[in-house]
Amino acid sequence: MKIIRYFLKGLAIAIAALVIAAAASFAVSNRTPVAISLWPLPFESTLPLGTTVLAALAIGLVVGTALMSLSRLRLYFRARRNERRAETAERTAARHAEQVQRQQAPSGTALPSPSSRIALSDN
C-alpha cells in the first residue's frame, strides 16, 4: 500500500513539475505587451501576454476552488445535521423499545403458561 502511495505522490509531483514548466515556457514565449484596463476603473496597465493569461488562469483557479470549498462546506454541515438527526432517532427508537418491553413484561398476576395448565388438568 505504501508503494502505491509513494508512486501516486511521485506522479503528482511529476505532473505539477510539467505544468509549472509549461507555464514558464508559455510566459517566456509570449512577452508581447498587452494593455489591460478594467472598464469601470480609470486605470490601465501594460503587462506581458503570458503573464496576463497565467494570472487569469490563477484567478479562475482560486475562484473555482473557493466556490467548490463552499459547496463542500455546505455538504459537510448537511451531513453533520443528518448525523445528529439519526442519533436522535436511534435514541427515540431505543426509548420506545424499552417502553414496549416494560409493557409486555409479565406481572405477578399473570396466568400460567398453556403447557403447565394442560399438565395440571391431566392429574
Q: Residue 4: what residue type?
A: I
* Residue ranges with strand state E in 26-100: 33-37, 44-48
| 80 band by pLDDT with thresholds 50, 70 and 90 | very high
Length of the chain: 123
Calculate mean pLDDT across residues 59-78.
96
- Whether the per-residue pLDDT at 119 is higher than 80: the answer is no
- Enter the pTM of the model: 0.60
Amino acid in the structure at residue 36: I
Q: What is the mean pLDDT of residues 21-39?
A: 93
- d(C-alpha 39, C-alpha 74), whole Å: 34
- Residue 8, all three cell numbers: 501516486
